[in-house]
Structure 1
Amino acid sequence: MANVTHKSYSNLISNAQEKFLTLLNQEIKFDEEADSWILMKTPWPILSLLVIYLLFVLKIGPQMMKKREAHNLKYAMMAYNLFQTLYNGYMISALFIPGAFQAAVDNVCHPVETDENRHIVKLFYIYSWHFVVSKISDLIDTVFFVLRKKQSHVSFLHVYHHVNMVITTWTYFRFFKGYQAVFCGLLNAFVHMVMYSYYFLSSLGPQMQKYLWWKIYITRLQIAQFLIGLTYGLHLYLFDCNFPRIFAIYMTADVLLFLYLFLIFYNKTYCKNVKAD
């Protein structure tokens, strides 16, 4: 009886694995040109960057700064935040390329690639690559925290968010390349443009503090982004859109976790301060 049960269990696992691999093979999408771009050929450059990042911000950096004065990085941060603001604005500008917005709307659920819209597809790949690079450049945020001896800012949420976004965006562009991600990518770029513009203004000095009352709304905007993304991801899955179902499930679970973590952060940062007042 035990052997029969074990055999049935093994068959169930084997069938599930076979179905998963079949579904994965059906949903993976390759493009010879895009897959040959810098950082996209293999996962090793990205994984190496993330290992170096984690080692520095969690161990090497804090130890290095333990007996040193915090670095004054005002001008470096100003330049970085301005660059990030403009870079995310550049990605949003893709909407204003003739035909791009209409193509994004038309392909929101069932994308169709033809010879006529091939140039739009190429633009989508280019901006998607830039989006991946922008998630890598986001890692510098944490490096600044460490060098300024702001290690308390290097929270689980902060580090997980940055690492997860690099892995997720790289994986999506390398293996799935769905048009449907345009909406979420543009929304994320907009949120980051607002966020980095706030950071740029705050780096100008104390004289700007009275104009920076809207910090709380950045976190609210991020939470709204997750709610919209969750709704959108469920729409792609439930309405049987031509979107990788494996990635839709992953995206939904991932966004739910982000939403949970950001709500905890919001409660600790803002709600408790209000109660204390």
Structure 2
Amino acid sequence: MLKSNGSGLLSGFPYAELADERTQHWPLVASPWHALAVLTLYLLLVYYGPKCMHSRKPWQLRGPLFIYNLCMSLLNGYICLELYSAARKLNYSAICQPCRVSFDPQELRLARAFWWFYITKVFEFADTCFFILRKKQSQLTFLHIYHHSSMFIICWIIIKWTPTGSTFMPAALNSFVHIIMYAYYCLAALGSRFRRYLWWKRYLTALQLLQFALGLAWGAQAIINKCEYPPWLCYLGTTYMLPFLYLFGRFYAQKYTKT
């Protein structure tokens, strides 16, 4: 059973007593106010950023974009490999692995990979910042903002309560998709001469849709099989996949199919 760290930072917060004691002193984990402060700054950026750039010329940022996307692709590759390797050495089941608090080196390795997975969601706010600086206002859609803000909160919940168990499976899948996604944007940042190599964008969107469908199926089977896993997180994760399937499905239909 997951234990509280006893710090009092979550006093009165639902399920505070179940928080994983190993991660509570790691950066941006202990208090919900830390996560809410980061999210508030992001939403202020979304609101005021375009206003600040309104009378300014767009920035090109080709070099920073290339470096950022390359680093994000490599970081997600590291996270995916760490999650898979640690889970394999622990003989974890990808389908129904109970959560457990252990200071075994491989368990801590898995928890650290989850923390990096969470921190990448902070780094990903830079996607929005680049859109604003380049004055790509059409990219600041509800889908984009909802995706980044909600994923950050979901990943805080994971590192706070369940950086263990079969949670590694959807996290590793998400990291794998982001390896490919940021590799695509890395090529796109090189300019028009590489455009002919970017014909597979629609398949990237299809891969994201497949990820959400698999996430929904994974959560549903955890509920049906009554896995030894916090039920409220199973229901939260399963429900969370539904708007993504709808929003990404609508985006795919509007962009890649004809009426």
Q: Using a 3 Å threshold, how does the CA distance of structure 1 residues 107 and 221 change in structure 2: closer, same or farther?
A: closer
1:105 aligns with 2:102: no
Displacement of 1:28 in angstroms is 2.2
User: C-alpha distance in 2, partners of 1:222/1:271?
Assistant: 17
Q: Using a 3 Å threshold, how does the CA distance of structure 1 residues 27 and 219 change in structure 2: closer, same or farther?
A: farther
Partner of 2:53: 65
Q: Using a 3 Å threshold, how does the CA distance of structure 1 residues 249 and 141 change in structure 2: closer, same or farther?
A: same
Cα RMSD between the aligned structures? 2.0
1:249 aligns with 2:249: no
- After superposition, the C-alpha distances for 1:193-250 in whole angstroms (9 at most, x for unaligned) are 1000000001111110111110000000000001111111001110010111111111
User: C-alpha distance in 1, partners of 2:60/2:189?
Assistant: 11
User: C-alpha distance in 2, partners of 1:106/1:49?
Assistant: 33
Q: Unpaired segments of 5 or more residues in structure 1?
A: 1-23
Structure 1: 4+ residue segments shifted above 6 A: none
Question: Pairwise mapping of residues 85-104 of structure 1 onto structure 2 (< 5 A)?
Answer: 85-94=73-82, 97=85, 100-103=87-90
Displacement of 1:25 in angstroms is 4.4
How does the TM-score come out when normalised to structure 2?
Answer: 0.89
1:172 aligns with 2:172: no
Candidates 29, 34, 43, aligned match of 2:19: 29
Displacement of 1:179 in angstroms is 1.2
Q: What secondary structure, in the 3-state scheme, does the structure 2 residue paired with 1:191 have?
A: helix
User: C-alpha distance in 2, partners of 1:53/1:113?
Assistant: 33
Partner of 1:4: none
1:41 aligns with 2:30: yes
Alignment check: 8 A CA contact 2:110 2:164 kept: no
Partner of 2:134: 148
Displacement of 1:152 in angstroms is 1.1
AA matched with 1:46: A
Alignment check: 8 A CA contact 1:27 1:244 kept: no
AA matched with 1:125: A
Higher helix share: 1
Q: Using a 3 Å threshold, how does the CA distance of structure 1 residues 227 and 106 change in structure 2: closer, same or farther?
A: closer
Candidates 168, 182, 191, aligned match of 2:168: 182
Alignment check: 8 A CA contact 2:28 2:34 kept: yes
- After superposition, the C-alpha distances for 1:130-184 in whole angstroms (9 at most, x for unaligned) are 0000111111101100111111100000000000000001012112334111000
Percent identical: 36
AA matched with 1:155: T
Partner of 1:56: 45
Comparing 99-108 with 179-188, which one deviates more in the overlay? 99-108
Alignment check: 8 A CA contact 1:108 1:179 kept: no
How does the TM-score come out when normalised to structure 1?
Answer: 0.83
Displacement of 1:45 in angstroms is 2.3
Alignment check: 8 A CA contact 1:27 1:176 kept: no
Partner of 2:122: 136
Partner of 1:19: none
AA matched with 1:78: F
User: C-alpha distance in 2, partners of 1:255/1:96?
Assistant: 22
Q: Using a 3 Å threshold, how does the CA distance of structure 1 residues 154 and 74 change in structure 2: closer, same or farther?
A: same
Aligned length: 246
Q: Unpaired segments of 5 or more residues in structure 2?
A: 1-13
Alignment check: 8 A CA contact 2:220 2:238 kept: yes
